[in-house]
Amino acid sequence: MITGKIGIPLFTVRNEKVILRHIFAVALSDFFAKQVDVYNSNNADVLLNGDGWERFCAYLESKPERLKEILKASIPDNMHSVMEIMDYSWTNKLILLFSHQMMVLV
């Protein structure tokens, strides 16, 4: 039997790997919403074999303000600088990761 008062389960979002995955997912989602032909009906052919990757990189290089605002709103303030949201430095990690994955597949 448990005695005493049991507190409400709490957690803080400070796990950089989890936040980075969230950032990547939000960026891809926003890009796909604007470029529906790149990933339409669960078909990644344009993204993987066409010019989709180049278009995605160009989208990231444009540093869309809307994307930054979504990320700022969905990530705790104390993690903004850690995750390099304001200057889009996180995009280097995404590009490096995807490029590495593509080399493994080839």
| Three-state SS at 8 | coil
Which residues have CB under 8 Å from 3's CB, separation 6+? none
User: What are the structural domain ranges in the chain?
Assistant: 16-105
The CA–CA distances, whole Å, from 38 to 25, 48, 51, 68, 74 equal: 15, 9, 8, 22, 25
Q: Which pLDDT does position 36 carry in this prediction?
A: 86
**pTM score over 0.75:** yes
Spatial CB neighbours of 59, under 8 Å, sequence gap ≥ 6: 31, 34, 35
pLDDT score of 1 = 56
Digitized pLDDT (tens) for each residue of the chain, 106 residues in all? 557 776 665 556 788 988 999 999 999 999 999 998 888 777 778 877 788 889 999 999 999 999 999 999 999 999 999 999 999 999 999 888 877 666 665 5
Concatenating the DSSP letter of every residue in 32-93 gives HHH-TTTSBTTB-HHHHHSSHHHHHHHHHHT--HHHHHHHHHHS-GGGTTTTTTTTTTHHHH
Q: What is the pLDDT of residue 11?
A: 55
